[in-house]
Amino acid sequence: KPIQLTSFCQEIINQLKVAYKRNIVLHANTDSLSISADEFKLKQVIIIAIDNAIKYSKAKVDVYLEEYDKHVLIRIVDYGIGIPEGEINQIFERFYRVDKARSRQTGGMGLGLPIAKNIMKQHHGEIKINSVEGEGTEVQLMLPKIKNKNMIE
């Protein structure tokens, strides 16, 4: 089923803004972009990333929706505690949480990112994380625009 990405992202953000009482801003360079994806699963990935951005920061969260030739990029950017360089790969492992002491205050199982990675893989996309400890984190969700036979409807 085609998803109109700008309104899709804006709706999720509106729901989360109300739920968390935090400032989340969408910056989109397109409003006519539709892609084929599982709506429920894609929503789950975006919620996982924004939920983390909110848990591990205190300022606003920026969400960028960027259309390129062959792919779409959704970037979730926070200005929070960040992730130590050596741990960026491990956070995609199930039950992995950075620094038990700080994580205990926020709660969570360490399952969000592994689930997100799995869903992105099902969509022939990718999830990448860039982070600087003490400065913030950027989660990149890449989705191909081209539909192929194996693509999830």
Q: Contact with ligand ATP (CB under 6 A): which of 12, 33, 80, 125?
A: 80
**Rounded distance between C-alpha atoms, residue 58 and residue 76, angstroms:** 14
Which CB atom, from 28 or from 47, has the smaller least distance to ligand ATP? 47
The answer to the question of residue 19 lying near ligand ATP (CB under 6 A) is no
Question: What are the residues whose beta carbons fall under 8 Å from the beta carbon of 151, sequence distance 6 or more?
Answer: 36, 123, 124
Structure tokens, 5: 């990405």
Question: Hey, which residues between 23 and 62 contact ligand ATP (CB under 6 A)?
Answer: 48, 52-53, 56
DSSP letters spanning 56-121: T-SS-EEEEEEE-SSEEEEEEEE-SS---GGGTTGGGSTT--S-HHHHHHH---S-HHHHHHHHHH
The answer to the question of residue 103 lying near ligand ATP (CB under 6 A) is yes
Which CB atom, from 72 or from 98, has the smaller least distance to ligand ATP? 98
The answer to the question of residue 125 lying near ligand ATP (CB under 6 A) is no
Count of residues that bind ligand ATP according to CB under 6 A: 21
What is the binding site for ligand ATP (CB under 6 A)?
A: 48, 52-53, 56, 78, 80-83, 91, 96-98, 103, 108-113, 137
